[in-house]
Structure 1
Amino acid sequence: MTAGRYRVTVTTDGEPLIQGWWGSEVTARRKFASWVGEHGSRAGARVTLVDEETGKRLTEWPATP
């Protein structure tokens, strides 16, 4: 099975905690929101959604000023 185009990553203090890949941006955005809810209270947590095809970061939490 190949990885999907959209990657969601949760890091804590810059270290990867969990990652997942989805072929659908809609599904990846749902997972992004879910993981913010599940892991956002961890100290130093950051959640990102990246389009692996373009390399563009689509969204991140918390938002960078």
Structure 2
Amino acid sequence: MYACICNGIKDSQVRDAAQRGAGTVGQVFRSLDCKPNCATCVQTIRNLLEEELLPENTLIAAE
């Protein structure tokens, strides 16, 4: 699945970037040497980062 159509970033690339230390959308883009264009992907990338960085079976309290 593509996380960012403008830059051709796949979800696996976002997950790999997270495993290498990227914790924000900006860090993902920098690690892949690109910049956001239309920013439609920002929430998708955030969601992927959360999935990748949160320990399994962790409950998140509602705000």
TM-score, normalised relative to structure 2: 0.31
Bigger strand fraction: 1
Question: TM-score, normalised on structure 1?
Answer: 0.30
Greater helix proportion: 2
